[in-house]
Structure 1
């Protein structure tokens, strides 16, 4: 073995151990094609990386009537989650889906 200095990966330096953005870097945004329907914006705490975004997106898209989920990730803060559905969703259904993914829906 050699005694070389290893530089930590920039995406693993804060927050989630696997891929949260380092300070000063822009967090990834998951985008899908726009869809027709009713859009509602929620705030979700606890997401730190693309894997978190994927988990929340999967839980929300499994809800009946949801056609699109768009998340603006704020690692370490409250991320903005826009859910588009063909009809209004109950707040409890959205809360349950977010909690099933392991995160917290922010209520004001």
Structure 2
């Protein structure tokens, strides 16, 4: 069973930003798919287990962006 989580992400403005956020999140355990959408300002994450929001926040911050709230 997979879990889908959607978060707002501040600061993404282009395809490079999307790829950077995606790579950072794909490094987390149990992530099965990431779709970053700069135009919508959000990221959709599929995971095998429920996500730890603080791990997600840390990965997005390391990528140079700010994680907002769940959508």
TM-score normalised by the chain length of structure 2: 0.90
Q: What is the match of residue 19 of structure 1?
A: none
Shift of 1:37: 1.2
Whole-angstrom CA distance in 2 between matches of 1:92 and 1:104: 12
Equivalent of 1:104 in 46, 62, 66: 66
Greater per-residue helix proportion: 2
Q: What is the match of residue 38 of structure 2?
A: 73
Q: What is the match of residue 22 of structure 1?
A: none
Secondary structure, aligned partner of 1:106: strand
Secondary structure, aligned partner of 1:84: strand
Tell me how large the CA RMSD over aligned residues is: 1.5
Shift of 1:72: 2.1
Secondary structure, aligned partner of 2:41: strand
TM-score normalised by the chain length of structure 1: 0.61
Q: Answer with 1 or 2: which has the greater Rg.
A: 1
Unaligned runs of 5+ residues in structure 2 are none
Shift of 1:89: 1.1
Query: Alignment length, in residue pairs?
Result: 70
Whole-angstrom CA distance in 1 between matches of 2:56 and 2:24: 9
Residues 9-64 of structure 1, C-alpha deviations (whole Å, 9 max, x = no match): xxxxxxxxxxxxxxxxxxxxxxxxxxx61110000000111111010000000000
Unaligned runs of 5+ residues in structure 1 are 1-35
